[in-house]
Amino acid sequence: MSPQELYLCQRCGNCCRWPGAVRLRQQDVARLASFQGLSEEAWIETYAEIHPDRSSLALKNQPDGACIFLEGRNHCRVQEAKPAQCRSFPNGWNFPGWRDVCEAIPASSLLEDRPA
């Protein structure tokens, strides 16, 4: 990914299924708990776990490894309040193979398709 290129999420849901943890910041917990009408403590008990490196909280996964908030093929139940890590994807991320699974499109491609 070019550091200057911006990508537009197509809400394919693929990033919600691949391996890895979604780290949670305090602001994420507060926003998600409020969005779901829960206290922060109740939200953490239900939806969070200790990150594998024990440095933070992370979202729990479904048994198949998908995000706990993913419904069906690509519906995020907390789209309006999703964690910062999810909000920033794919922009600001750069790891091998992301383009093989992510359907985001370069924002510049929309400009190329516009009539002059």
56: in domain:
yes
Local confidence band at 109 (pLDDT 50, 70, 90 cut-offs): confident
64: in domain:
yes
1: in domain:
no
Local confidence band at 1 (pLDDT 50, 70, 90 cut-offs): very low
Residue-wise pLDDT tens digits, 18-69: 878 899 999 999 999 999 999 999 999 999 999 989 999 999 999 999 999 9
77: in domain:
yes
Q: How many structural domains is the chain composed of?
A: 1
Cβ neighbors of 11 (< 8 A, separation 6 or more) are 74, 76
Statement: the pTM of the whole predicted model exceeds 0.85 = no
Residue 42: both structure tokens together = 């109740």
Which position has the higher pLDDT, 51 or 109? 51
Burial (0-12, 13-18, 19+ Cβ within 10 Å), 4: exposed
* Apex 14 CA angle, 40 and 36, nearest 5: 20
